[in-house]
Amino acid sequence: MTNLAQYDPDIAHAIKNELERQRNGLEMIPSENFVSLAVLEAMGTVPTNKYAEGYPGKRYYGGNQFIDVMETLAIERAKKLFGAEYANVQPHAGSQANMAAYFAVMKPGEKLMGMALPMGGHLTHGHPLSFSGTFYQVVPYGVRRDGWLDMDEVRAIALREKPKVLVCGASAYPRLIDFKAFAQIAHETGAVAIADIAHVAGLVVGGAHPHPFPETDIVTTTTHKTLRGPRSALILAKAQYGAAIDKAIIPGLQGGPMEHIIAAKAVCFKEAMEPSFTDYARRIVANAKVLAETLMREGLTLVSGGTDNHLMLMDLTALNMAGKQAEALLDEVGITVNKNMIPYDPRKPLDPSGIRLGTPALTTRGFTEDDMKIVGRTIAEVLKNPTSDDTKSRAREVVRGLTEKYPLYPDLKYATY
């Protein structure tokens, strides 16, 4: 990046500092990960210069013969990876993927049934501040007081409300999601079954989480979480929904696709088909289980009593601490998590009662189950002794030791002037 460093040293310094932040801390936000150098290289390439509205073989601009090769590879790899009949690799983000999926099968004002955000769902599953809560009549479902989904309750709501779309998936639910059961409820009540697997896509293709196909009609996902690809999204579906989804993306929602990112998606799909990715997915879950067990053994409270996937949700009520404070405390020692609401949270979204943490990025670096025990004990010590400078000093030493043990991008160097 010598050209950037020479022309815009302010930006170059900021990028270099961000690289050092990632190298020297424990990244534990469950929706974040580290891409391979191959994915990183693909993102910074010349396809960014090309307009390519339309689809392979059907573009509105000329000069797309090589762009078509990249996008076709991405489509075919996505279909093979997920066992899907159809794939659209153009969505820029998960929210746009969900919007396109809804637009393909729903009209404004029809009923959308999804998991409420405070219960672990996502903004696009019907929150009033999202397009999903603006355009559609929302029917929410949640979890029991113990933090678990109750599929009998979901079925009862669906039978009563008869939604047009039943969307499942979550952004802060630490247990397995029974996509087959959701699809059966949807079809029983006349709804289209959509699964948002943004958080667990890598676990799904790695065999560490139940698969949404073949029962689910439409599947949406981001590509940058457990799938370990570029920051983007993907729509998969049964063939009968393909034409409507294509139309929803363009001309409905997007213009020119970001073909440099699509090239990077193709790379990440290839990586996820390697046998080593199956091991990676299973290690994410194994690490999460050990971390959860360690935190609970240290006296901390986890929603639902543990985890089955890559994340856990900590209830800080017993510590008389809010999520915002806990996030800041851990950030001081180089551990990055995010504040998060817990089910039935009495506090406000910007200062909730919990934090969300996970293991995908640490597992990418090579962390083992023994390392997760150290991480868990360190987190517990910091949270239980929030005013102790000695505790923070010890925690920083632990973080330094672990990051030096598992270096991140050791050969990557950015020039600065």
Please list the active-site residues: 51, 53, 196, 222, 225, 231
Pair of tokens at residue 359:
């293991």
How many other C-beta atoms can be found within 10 angstroms of the C-beta atom of residue 39? 23
Q: Is the torsion defined by CA of 92, 185, 143, 287 positive or negative?
A: negative
208: left (phi over 0), alpha (psi -120 to 50) or beta: alpha
Q: Is the torsion defined by CA of 119, 124, 129, 132 positive or negative?
A: negative
- 3-state SS string over the chain? CHHHHHHCHHHHHHHHHHHHHHHHCEECCCCCCCCCHHHHHHHCCHHHHCCCCEECCEECCCCCHHHHHHHHHHHHHHHHHHCCCEEECCCCCHHHHHHHHHHHHCCCCCEEEEECHHHCCCHHHCCCCCHHHHHCEEEEECECCCCCECHHHHHHHHHHHCCCEEEECCCCCCCCCCHHHHHHHHHHCCCEEEEECCCCHHHHHCCCCCCCCCCCCEEEEECCCCCCCCCCEEEEECHHHHHHHHHHHHHHHCCCCCHHHHHHHHHHHHHHCCHHHHHHHHHHHHHHHHHHHHHHHCCCEEHHHCCCCCEEEEECHHHCCCHHHHHHHHHHCCEECEEECCCCCCCECCECCEEEEECHHHHHHCCCHHHHHHHHHHHHHHHHCCCCHHHHHHHHHHHHHHHHHCCCCCCCCCCCC
